[in-house]
């Protein structure tokens, strides 16, 4: 059950629907508001989809529709996005022409890294400037096509009335129109009900020991509005600054001004500080500051003659953040603003809500499809491990930006790198990445989005694709195996032939130091293994074994080759439970990017592998047979091993 048909709830439902998971979405808004966006989107909401969210949109099949949404615009100048022109006391600061970024500059290096490593080229991968309401429309439209998703409008979650031993929850759901209640049972409850979350207040507060929705307070009181702005300046984003002494003294106020995506060339969103005398007061965020107050505060910061009219909405807000101390309690989860809320500014809050939903969705759908008991840990625990750390990062990032702004130390290149999401990693604490000391030397680390490479030939369709195309092709796990030679030599736990292999993934340990030379796990692999010539088929059989049959049914397999000859080998892959796709990487570019030039030069034919999670992040990476052991750990940690 997904509580809330806002951005987080819809994103979660869409992905669950794509995976065929039966999903009920509740929202108290009446059904005749079907075409309307969530309350947050109606009063503004975010306007920028980051490149990493754009990749998610491609995976769930809404990217093309987003590009067609009203007013949607692709932004590929990532650095420009974080360095809008400056208006000081209404005067446009002289802008130094930005030199064409070359590789010797930080901006040039970032652009090169984005293009060459992350495949950030063209409309498929840049930022999308689009209204949150349009984004919700597109996602809601897709949800309505999914057979396994039902949205119940006019229905509000009240509380959980009973928790069965197996984790199943019986929930009271109220019909807003009639005032009557009914009981709905669900295996999982996802609180996507925004800042004032009822799921959080009824199912976490008082039920999780020491639970807190910790507030990080900011002093400043701000105002925000959407309006019609009449002025002569170009339609672009501006930073507003007010200085005393006719523009030469210390800063005494600031704000921002950005065009609202859409057809109206005069539509702008303006933010500005409220008068200092109001900061200590208790202005309620649901209150609307009057036009006269907005005008008074904005006038000294906008050019002479600028006219503000037709305010469609206005809000007070403070630079406050709230982060819940737990995102999961048994079968109940907090997602999006129910779990962590931030000031309604910039790029991150809206994208963080989608990222929470994207992360929980693949974990939940695996848990449902492979039969994990709702109360069990593993893959479901990793939601909190990964997303709470991300919420703290979002808080630090927003706070850092405003602190830099106050001190006049803006660093647009750093924000561009951080905000795009393509360089982020997963926290050490996450169980759903297997960090191996042996892989420390590789350029790609677990938890990261690996580099993209174009020009890969998929021999099943004889089509040319980039790695990013493959990564975005579905919401399944993907396992890549690579070797420069074929057949390969492999010291494998399967290598002995006669003896039945044991599942080394079950030698579970959170302490990777047990893998030092002479450790029990390592010796057992050595003992079992025999360096015999293996075929790809054997490697994949080993891989299948380590992940378990049920898990394998949720994976796509790719075998990377340097030559297309492999495609013509007779009887390839005949004993596998899934058909691997053979990919020709003629120049070994993926191998270089993932394992490093040194590995290529010194390569002795050892096979290597990489497991890509459905969110496009590396789950484990390494050289066989260690990679097999890591796959076993990944599978075991997920808690899904029993289901297989
Ligand atoms: C004025 C404003 C400006 C913003 N500007 C930006 C920006 O510039 N950049 C940015 O990144 N972000 C911005 N945001 C933030 C962004 O809109 C939010 O991060 C995003 O909407 C969070 O999505 P959500 O689904 O978690 O919560 P919400 O969008 O709040 O959705 C919650 C949903 O839950 C439903 N619900 C509530 N109670 C119940 C219940 N008991 N039962 C069932 N359903 C329930 C509600 O009806 C609603 O549909 C802004 C927000 C506002 C309000």
Atom 9 (ligand 1): residue with closest C-alpha? 46
- Cβ atoms < 10 Å from Cβ of 71: 16
Atom 20 (ligand 1): residue with closest C-alpha? 350
Ligand 1: centre distance to CA 508 (Å)? 40
Residue 150's DSSP bridge partners are 24
Ligand 1: centre distance to CA 64 (Å)? 24
What is the pTM assigned to this prediction?
Answer: 0.92
Torsion of the alpha carbons at 152, 153, 159 and 160, rounded to the nearest 10: 0
Ligand 1: centre distance to CA 24 (Å)? 19
State which ligand 1 atom lies nearest to the alpha carbon of 356: 26
Atom 48 (ligand 1): residue with closest C-alpha? 6
Atom 3 (ligand 1): residue with closest C-alpha? 45
Ligand 1 pocket check: which of 171, 343, 344 to mutate, most ligand atoms within 8 Å of Cβ?
344
CA 228, 233, 237, 239 torsion-angle sign: negative
Ligand 1 pocket check: which of 4, 81, 136, 286 to mutate, most ligand atoms within 8 Å of Cβ?
4
Identify the pLDDT of residue 459.
Answer: 85
Ligand 1: centre distance to CA 19 (Å)? 25
State which ligand 1 atom lies nearest to the alpha carbon of 10: 25
Q: Could you write out the DSSP letters of every residue in 574-627?
A: TT-SS-PEEEE-TT-HHHHHHH-HHHHHT--S--EEEEE-TTS-EEEEEETTHH
Atom 23 (ligand 1): residue with closest C-alpha? 7
Q: Is the distance from CB of 50 to CB of 358 less than 8 angstroms?
A: no
Burial (Cβ within 10 Å: 0-12, 13-18, ≥19) of residue 96: exposed
Identify the pLDDT of residue 353.
Answer: 98
State which ligand 1 atom lies nearest to the alpha carbon of 315: 1
- Cα distances (Å, whole numbers) of residue 131 to 59, 134, 262, 398: 20, 5, 8, 20
Ligand 1 pocket check: which of 193, 258, 345, 361 to mutate, most ligand atoms within 8 Å of Cβ?
193
Ligand 1: centre distance to CA 337 (Å)? 7
- Cβ atoms < 10 Å from Cβ of 89: 18
Ligand 1: centre distance to CA 174 (Å)? 21
* Alpha-carbon gap, residue 453 to 455, rounded angstroms: 7
**Listed residue (356, 362, 334, 328) closest to 640, CA to CA:** 362
| Segment-wise mean pLDDT, segments of 10 residues, the chain, 644 residues | 98 97 96 77 93 95 95 88 91 81 86 86 78 96 96 97 93 97 97 98 97 92 96 94 87 92 94 91 81 95 95 93 97 98 95 98 95 86 97 96 87 93 94 88 93 91 93 95 65 43 35 35 39 66 88 91 65 68 89 86 76 97 91 93 58
Query: Using alpha carbons only, what angle is made at residue 538 by residues 536 and 542, rounded to the nearest 5 degrees?
Result: 115
Identify the pLDDT of residue 440.
Answer: 81
Ligand 1: centre distance to CA 314 (Å)? 16
Element containing residue 480 per DSSP (H, E): strand 477-482
Identify the pLDDT of residue 544.
Answer: 86
State which ligand 1 atom lies nearest to the alpha carbon of 40: 53
Atom 37 (ligand 1): residue with closest C-alpha? 193
Q: Is the distance from CB of 601 to CB of 469 less than 8 angstroms?
A: no
Rg (CA), the chain: 26
Ligand 1 pocket check: which of 50, 190, 194, 341 to mutate, most ligand atoms within 8 Å of Cβ?
194
CB under 8 Å, gap of 24 or more: what pairs does 494-499 form?
Answer: 494/538, 494/541, 494/542, 494/545, 495/528, 495/529, 495/530, 495/531, 495/532, 495/534, 496/528, 496/529, 496/530, 497/530, 497/532, 499/528
Ligand 1 pocket check: which of 5, 6, 28 to mutate, most ligand atoms within 8 Å of Cβ?
6
Ligand 1: centre distance to CA 637 (Å)? 33
Atom 18 (ligand 1): residue with closest C-alpha? 350
Atom 49 (ligand 1): residue with closest C-alpha? 6
* Alpha-carbon gap, residue 211 to 194, rounded angstroms: 18
Ligand 1: centre distance to CA 38 (Å)? 7
- Cα distances (Å, whole numbers) of residue 542 to 162, 505, 641: 44, 12, 16
Identify the pLDDT of residue 448.
Answer: 96
- Cβ atoms < 10 Å from Cβ of 457: 17
**Listed residue (488, 436, 457, 483) closest to 600, CA to CA:** 483
Identify the pLDDT of residue 488.
Answer: 56
Q: Is the distance from CB of 311 to CB of 202 less than 8 angstroms?
A: no
Q: Is the distance from CB of 434 to CB of 635 less than 8 angstroms?
A: no
State which ligand 1 atom lies nearest to the alpha carbon of 7: 25
Ligand 1-lining residues (CB < 6 angstroms): 3-9, 26-29, 38-40, 43-47, 132, 156-157, 192-194, 198, 224, 315, 336-337, 344-350, 353
Specify the 3-state DSSP secondary structure of 318.
Answer: strand
Specify the 3-state DSSP secondary structure of 247.
Answer: helix
Ligand 1: centre distance to CA 197 (Å)? 10
State which ligand 1 atom lies nearest to the alpha carbon of 5: 49
């Amino acid at each position: 059950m997904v509580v809330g048909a806002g951005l987080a709830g819809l994103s979660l439902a869409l992905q669950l629907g794509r995976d065929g998971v039966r999903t009920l979405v509740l929202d108290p808004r009446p059904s005749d508001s079907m075409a309307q966006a969530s309350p947050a989107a109606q009063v503004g909401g975010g306007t920028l989809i980051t490149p990493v969210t754009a990749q998610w949109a491609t995976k769930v099949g809404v990217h093309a529709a987003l590009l067609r949404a009203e007013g949607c615009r692709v932004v590929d100048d990532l650095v420009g996005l974080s360095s809008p022109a400056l208006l000081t006391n209404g005067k446009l600061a002289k802008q130094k022409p930005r030199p064409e970024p070359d590789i010797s500059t930080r901006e040039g290096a970032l652009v090169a890294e984005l293009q060459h490593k992350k495949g950030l080229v063209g409309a498929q991968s840049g930022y999308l400037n689009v209204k949150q309401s349009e984004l919700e429309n597109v996602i809601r439209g897709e949800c309505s096509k999914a057979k396994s998703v039902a949205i119940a409008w006019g229905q509000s979650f009240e509380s959980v009335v009973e928790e069965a031993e197996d984790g199943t929850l019986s929930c009271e759901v109220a019909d807003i129109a009639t005032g009557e209640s009914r009981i709905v049972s669900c295996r999982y409850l996802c609180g996507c009900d925004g800042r004032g979350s009822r799921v959080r207040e009824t199912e976490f507060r008082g039920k999780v020991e020491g639970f807190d929705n910790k507030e990080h307070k900011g002093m400043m009181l701000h105002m925000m509005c959407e309006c019609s702005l009449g002025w002569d300046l170009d339609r672009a984003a501006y930073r507003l600054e007010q200085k005393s002494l006719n523009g030469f003294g210390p800063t005494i106020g600031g704000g921002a001004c950005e065009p609202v995506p859409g057809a109206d060339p005069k539509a702008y969103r303006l933010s500005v500080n409220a008068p200092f005398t109001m900061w200590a007061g208790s202005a309620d965020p649901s209150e609307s500051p009057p036009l006269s107050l907005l005008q008074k505060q904005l006038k000294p910061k906008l050019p002479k003659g600028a006219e503000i009219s037709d305010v469609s909405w206005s809000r007070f807000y403070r630079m406050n953040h709230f982060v819940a101390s737990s995102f999961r309690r048994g079968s109940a989860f907090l997602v999006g603003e129910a779990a962590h809320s931030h000031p309604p500014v910039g790029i991150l809050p809206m994208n963080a809500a989608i990222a929470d939903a994207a992360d929980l969705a693949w974990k939940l759908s695996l848990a449902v499809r492979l039969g994990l008991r709702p109360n069990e840990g593993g893959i479901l625990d990793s939601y909190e491990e990964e997303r709470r750390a991300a919420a703290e990062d979002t808080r630090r990032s927003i706070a850092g930006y405003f602190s830099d702004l106050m001190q006049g130390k803006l660093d647009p290149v750093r924000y561009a790198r951080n905000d795009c999401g393509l360089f982020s990693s997963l926290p050490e604490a996450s169980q759903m990445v297997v960090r191996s000391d042996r892989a420390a030397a590789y350029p790609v680390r677990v938890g990261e989005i690996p580099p993209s490479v174009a020009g890969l030939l998929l021999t099943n369709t004889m089509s040319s694709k980039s790695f990013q195309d493959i990564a975005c092709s579905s919401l399944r796990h993907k396992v890549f195996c690579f070797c420069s030679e074929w057949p390969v030599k492999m010291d494998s736990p399967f290598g002995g032939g006669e003896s039945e292999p044991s599942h080394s993934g079950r030698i579970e340990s959170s302490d990777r130091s047990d893998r030092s030379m002479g450790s029990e796990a390592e010796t057992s692999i050595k003992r079992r293994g025999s360096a015999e010539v293996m075929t790809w088929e054997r490697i994949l059989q080993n891989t299948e074994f380590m992940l378990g049959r049920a898990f394998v049914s949720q994976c796509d397999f790719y075998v990377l080759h340097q030559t297309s000859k492999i495609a013509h080998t007779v009887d390839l892959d005949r004993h596998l439970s899934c058909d691997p796709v053979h990919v020709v990487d003629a120049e070994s570019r993926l191998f270089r990017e993932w394992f490093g030039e040194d590995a290529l030069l010194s390569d002795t034919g050892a096979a290597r592998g990489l497991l890509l999670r459905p969110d496009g992040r590396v789950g484990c990476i390494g050289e066989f047979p260690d990679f097999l052991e890591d796959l076993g750990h990944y599978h075991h940690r997920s808690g899904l091993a029993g289901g297989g």
